[in-house]
Amino acid sequence: MPHFVIDCSENILNLKSPEKIMQAVYDTAESTGLFDPADIKVRINPFRYYNTGNTKDDFIHIFANIMEGRTTAQKSNLSNKIVSQLKLMFPEVPILSINIRDFEKATYCNKSMV
């Protein structure tokens, strides 16, 4: 925990490598001090087929899934920092966004917990 899943138009990977994009998200998340660095997970899903408002505009959207317990201000700061970093990397990309979802501790389970 946390998981940062990057959805993007396939063309994004022609602008920057997947590794650079994922590392930027990782580094930005780590810089907030909200997470143990060893727990941060980032992956990327490029899409060839998509429709953004009846256009083929490039996009990047991140689904951030984090364990409950952070304040709204902390989550807002995380969102702003990640979008700001992406804006620096991709000033020409019209759609850059993120949403944060909280995992509930009571219902979360992983392999080491069983």
What is the band of 3 on the pLDDT scale with cuts at 50, 70, 90? very high
Tell me whether residue 17 is exposed, middle or buried, using C-beta atoms within 10 angstroms of its C-beta: 0 to 12, 13 to 18, 19 or more: exposed
Total-model pTM: 0.94
Neighbours of 29 (CB within 10 A): 25
Q: Does the pLDDT value for residue 1 go beyond 90?
A: no
What is the pLDDT at residue 91? Answer: 98
What are the backbone angles phi and psi of residue 92, rounded to the nearest 5°?
A: -90, -10
What are residue 113's phi and psi, to 5 degrees? -90, -10
Q: What is the pLDDT of residues 44-102, one digit of tens each?
A: 999 999 999 999 999 999 999 999 999 999 999 999 999 999 999 999 999 999 999 99
